[in-house]
Amino acid sequence: MIDELIRRSIRQMVGGGGPPIAFLSPAGDRGFFGPESIAWKVHADFVSMMIGGISSLVLQALHPKALAGVWDHSTFREDLKGRLGRTAFFIAATTYGSNEMANNAIHRVNQIHQKVTGFDEFNQPYRADDPNLLAWVHLTETFSFMSSYESYRSESLHAQQKNQYFAEMKMLGERLGAIDLPNTYDGTQLAIQHYRDQLHYGERAKSIIGLLDSFPSNLISRPFVKMITGAGFLNLPNWVYPIIHRPVPSRLERLAMRSTIRLMAIPVREALKDGVAAHSLRRVYGSSL
C-alpha cells in the first residue's frame, strides 16, 4: 500500500508506467557503461537524481540561449511532468539500456537538436546543436547529479570514483555533440565557472524557475514533490543564489533537508528496488539475480 502510494507520487512528478521490461534484453548486453561503472551507481538512486534534475534545470534556465530552445520549441511550460519524464527516460536508456537502446536515444535527441534554432531574448541566434550550449547542459546535469548524490545518498565517493563518473559521462556528452568536456570533478567545476558571464536572470528565467519552485502536483503527492523541489534548490552552488535573488542557505537548512530526505528516501528506495537498474542487472548477468 505504501509502496504503491510512493510509486504514484513519483509518476505524478515524472510520469512512468509499470516494470521496465524493455531493459531485460538482449541478454548479456552491457550497454555503454556496465554494472561496475560509477554511472550505474549514481544514477540508480532515483531520489538524488530527481533532486539533481531540479537543480540542473534551474542552472540551465540561466543561460539565455539554452533557455531559448526550451522556450520556443518545447512544451516545458505546459507539460513539465512530460518533459521531466522524457529526460528521465533518456538518462535511463543511455545509462542502463542495451547498446541499441542507448544509441537510438542519442540519435533521436541529435535529430531533434538539428531542427531547434531561433533567436534568444536578446535577439541573438542560437542552435540547439551548438557545442557550447550542449556542454553547458552536460556540465550542469552531471555536476548536479554528483552533488545531489553526495548530499543525499549517505554514501561518500572517493576522488577517484568521482573522476571516473565524469570521465564516463564525457563519452556520453561527446556523443551528443559537446566538445572539450572535462573528465574530472574539479575540471567540471572549473568549466561551469567559465559560463558565469553568459548567464542572465531575466523574465524568461524567472518564469521557468518559478514553475520549478511551484511544481504542479495533486494533494496526495504534494508533500513528496515539495520536498524534492526544495532539496533541488538547496543543491545549487552558492554562487547561484545572488543571481536568482535568494539568500545562500544556511548550514542548518542544508542539514535539516539532508536529514529529512535521507529518512524519506528509505521507503522510496524500497518501493523502487525492482526498477530499471535491477532489470538491467538481470539482462547482463541472467534472470537468476
Chain segment 152-190, per-residue pLDDT in tens: 987 789 999 999 999 999 999 999 999 999 999 999 999
Report pLDDT for 6. Answer: 58
Q: In this model, does residue 75 exceed pLDDT 80?
A: no
Report the alpha-carbon distance of residue 127 to residue 119 in Å, rounded. 9
- pLDDT in the model for residue 15: 55
Inter-CA distances, 141 with 40, 56, 87, 166, 191, Å: 15, 5, 11, 11, 13
**Average of per-residue pLDDT across 12-35:** 82
When pLDDT is averaged across residues 250-265 and rounded to a whole number, the result is 92
Instruction: Report the percent of the chain where pLDDT is more than 90.
Output: 72
Judged against a pLDDT cut of 60, whether residue 22 lies above it is answered with: yes
Kindly state the helix (H) or strand (E) to which residue 119 belongs, with its residue range.
strand 117-119
The pLDDT of residue 18: 54
- The pLDDT confidence band at residue 76, using thresholds 50, 70 and 90, is confident
Grid coordinates given for 122: 536578446
Domain ranges of the chain: 35-276
Average pLDDT value over all residues in the chain: 90
Between 281 and 225, where is the model more confident?
281
Residue keyed to cell 570533478: 185
Residue 250 has pLDDT above 90, yes or no: yes
Classified as helix, coil or strand, 120 is: coil
Range 115-139 average pLDDT: 97
Number of Cβ within a 10 Å radius of residue 165: 25
* ∠ CA 185-275-226, rounded to 5°: 70
Per-residue pLDDT tens digits for 1-10: 445 555 566 6
Its pTM stands at 0.91
Q: In the numeric block, which cell numbers belong to residue 258?
A: 539532508
Does residue 217 register a pLDDT over 90?
Answer: no
